[in-house]
A and B are shown apart, each in its own frame.
Chain A
Amino acid sequence: MAVAGAAAATIFWILTEPSTIAAGILPEHQPDLANGERMFNAAGCASCHIAPGSKDKTRLAGGVALKTPFGTFHVPNISPDPDAGIGGWSDIQFVNAVMRGVSPSGSHYYPAFPYTSYQRMAHGDVLDIKAYIDALPAVKSEVSGHDLPLPFRLRRGLGLWKLLYLDGRRFQADPTATDEINRGTYLVQGPGHCGECHTPRNLIGGPMMDRTLAGGPAPEGDGVIPNITPDPTGIGDWSAKDIAYALESGFTPEFDAFGGAMVSVQDNLAKLPEEDRAAIAAYLKSLPAVKSAPKKPKAD
Chain B
Amino acid sequence: MLRSLKVAVLTASALALGTAIAMSASDPIAARKAMMKNNGEAMKVVVPMVKGEAEYDAVTAALAMRVVNSTANGYTALFPESSKTGGKTEAAPAIWEKMADFEAAGDKFAADSATAVTAAAGGLDSFKAAFGTMAGNCKACHDEFRVKKN
Q: Which residues of A contact B (CB under 8 A)?
A: 218, 221-226, 249-251, 254-260, 263-264, 266, 300
* Cβ contact within 8 Å between A250 and B149: no
Q: State in angstroms the CA–CA spacing of A259 and B139 once bound together.
A: 6
* Cβ contact within 8 Å between B150 and A260: no
Smallest CB separation, B132 vs chain A (Å): 10
Contacts A300-B86, A300-B88 given; indicate if A257 touches B138 (C-beta within 8 A). yes
* Cβ contact within 8 Å between B148 and A224: yes
Q: State in angstroms the CA–CA spacing of A70 and B85 once bound together.
A: 27
Q: State in angstroms the CA–CA spacing of A109 and B63 once bound together.
A: 54
Confirm or deny: B3 has a beta carbon within 8 angstroms of a beta carbon on chain A. Answer: no
Instruction: List chain A residues, Cβ under 8 A from B138.
Output: 250-251, 257
Contacts A300-B86, A300-B88 given; indicate if A257 touches B147 (C-beta within 8 A). no
Q: State in angstroms the CA–CA spacing of A226 and B149 once bound together.
A: 9
B39 nearest CB neighbor, chain A only:
A255
A215 nearest CB neighbor, chain B only:
B148
* Cβ contact within 8 Å between A258 and B142: yes
Q: State in angstroms the CA–CA spacing of A6 and B98 once bound together.
A: 54
B140 nearest CB neighbor, chain A only:
A263
Chain A facing B: main interface SS = loop
Q: Which of B108-150 contact A (CB under 8 A)?
A: 135, 138-140, 142-143, 145-150
Confirm or deny: B43 has a beta carbon within 8 angstroms of a beta carbon on chain A. Answer: yes
* Cβ contact within 8 Å between A256 and B40: yes
Smallest CB separation, A293 vs chain B (Å): 13
Confirm or deny: B8 has a beta carbon within 8 angstroms of a beta carbon on chain A. Answer: no
Contacts A263-B139, A263-B142 given; indicate if A223 touches B148 (C-beta within 8 A). yes
* Cβ contact within 8 Å between B150 and A263: no
Instruction: List chain A residues, Cβ under 8 A from B148.
Output: 218, 223-226, 259-260
Contacts A222-B149, A223-B148, A300-B85 given; indicate if A263 touches B143 (C-beta within 8 A). yes
User: What interface size band does chain B fall in?
Assistant: 20 to 34
B41 nearest CB neighbor, chain A only:
A255
Instruction: List chain B residues, Cβ under 8 A from A266.
Output: 139
B132 nearest CB neighbor, chain A only:
A249
Confirm or deny: B25 has a beta carbon within 8 angstroms of a beta carbon on chain A. Answer: no
Confirm or deny: B47 has a beta carbon within 8 angstroms of a beta carbon on chain A. Answer: yes
Instruction: List chain A residues, Cβ under 8 A from B92.
Output: 221
* Cβ contact within 8 Å between B143 and A260: yes
Tell which of A254, A255, A258 has the most Cβ of chain B within 10 Å. Answer: A255
Q: State in angstroms the CA–CA spacing of A218 and B90 once bound together.
A: 13
* Cβ contact within 8 Å between B147 and A223: yes
- Provide 13 A-B residue pairs closer than 8 Å at the C-beta atoms, listed in order of the A residue: A222-B149, A224-B148, A224-B149, A250-B138, A251-B138, A254-B44, A255-B41, A255-B43, A257-B139, A260-B146, A263-B139, A263-B142, A300-B86
Q: State in angstroms the CA–CA spacing of A226 and B150 once bound together.
A: 7
Q: Which one of A255, A258, A263 contacts B44 once the chains associate, using CB atoms below 8 Å? A: A255
Smallest CB separation, B140 vs chain A (Å): 8
Smallest CB separation, B63 vs chain A (Å): 16
